Amino acid sequence: MSEIDVNRGVVSRLHRETGVRVYMYYDKPGYYYDEHTNAVADNFAEAAGFPVAEHAKERYKQEKLADFTTEINRRMAEAEDAADKEVLEQKGEYKILKMAYGTAIVVDGEGHKITPMPIPLPQAKGLLDALVPSEPEVVKKGKK
């Protein structure tokens, strides 16, 4: 019985010399498996008809994007964990707290985040305005 998750999106090729089926998930280009999810060598996958060189470029790109995303998330978490967050603006119980790289978070009076991730400062100001609308101006009628 195959251990390959066919519902995940997978492509398979038959290695003509050995009769072994080689699989690759669409979301993991350049990683090849047999039916028991054991890794298959690139030259074996190439002999089965996979464009290994093309997939290797895409795999490299995905790995670098994952590294970059991890680094950005780490930096954002460090900035978020800073104890001395500067309050940029406050309306009612809501505050905009300065974060790294021109971003901010909006918190309520108890410190709970309204924005789960830091957002650009102009968006944070727009959110604060939406949460606490300005008092409408009272128009005084003058004598005629």
- Return the domain boundaries, the chain: 6-74, 83-131
pLDDT at 83 over 50: no
Asked if 89 contacts 128 with a C-beta cutoff of 8 angstroms, the reply is yes
pLDDT at 135 over 70: no
CA torsion through residues 65, 67, 71, 76, sign:
positive
> What is the overall mean pLDDT for the chain?
87
User: What integer is the mean pLDDT of 123-139?
Assistant: 79
Question: What does the alpha-carbon distance between residue 99 and residue 107 come to, in Å, rounded to a whole number?
Answer: 12
Kindly report the backbone phi and psi dihedral angles of residue 119, in degrees, each rounded to the nearest multiple of 5, phi listed first: -125, 160
29 vs 86, more confident: 29
Question: What does the alpha-carbon distance between residue 22 and residue 26 come to, in Å, rounded to a whole number?
Answer: 13
Kindly report the backbone phi and psi dihedral angles of residue 69, in degrees, each rounded to the nearest multiple of 5, phi listed first: -60, -40
User: What integer is the mean pLDDT of 32-53?
Assistant: 95
